[in-house]
Amino acid sequence: MDRLRRWWLRRQHGDGEWAGLLQAPPADTWVSLDLETTGLDPQRDHILSLAAVPVHGGAVRVSERFECRIRPDRAFGIDSIRHHHITPDEAADGLSVTPAVRAFLHWLGSRPLLGYHLAFDIAMLAPHVRALTGFNLPQPRVDLAEQYATRARRARPDVPPNLELPRIADALGVPVLGRHSALGDATTVALCWLALRSGRTASTD
């Protein structure tokens, strides 16, 4: 179904600005994505920061990252600040969301997406992506929590897996980097993914 949808989108949009999103995804490559937001409701809340880190060749390519602070369309309160440590003054210095998402999509291309509870990040991006491109993100997706849960249940079917990101990282021997920052969480998830796939802690550069 993914191939058929990609083929149809190429027929409709393959000669335009967004042709790069619709190419065949590269092998052994992912982009670990994380957002910080004003809250957890995709219908009401806004993106504050976006970070994405490539994963390729057995390494997390932090030096090739995409990172952007985004100016929200409405004020946010102290609970939000306590979670992501971004103040309203800092947020006001960010880009508006449309040019930020446009730049991200051009950087992303057709690379598969990786994340922790990735469906939330996709839902937050979805209206902005559709407004720019006319379609939803077509990339293949990998969710770390789902992949870890599958392995944990296979190893111990009688024990419900703990799917908190710090517990996943600890189980895989991965350091938690900058928790509740977009870049820190994206990098931690990328390292966890490589460790999960290989059975050993991955490297960064």
Tens-place pLDDT, residues 30-57: 999 999 998 889 998 899 999 999 999 9
Residue range 78-90: mean pLDDT, rounded:
66
Cβ neighbourhood burial of 28 (10 Å; 0-12, 13-18, 19+)? exposed
Query: For the chain, what is the radius of gyration of the CA atoms?
Result: 17
From 112, 118, 117, select the one nearest 139 (Cα to Cα): 112
Read off the pLDDT band of 180 (50, 70, 90). Answer: confident
Backbone torsions φ then ψ of 66, nearest 5 degrees: -110, 130
85 pLDDT above the threshold of 70: no
DSSP label at residue 130: H
| Global pTM value | 0.88
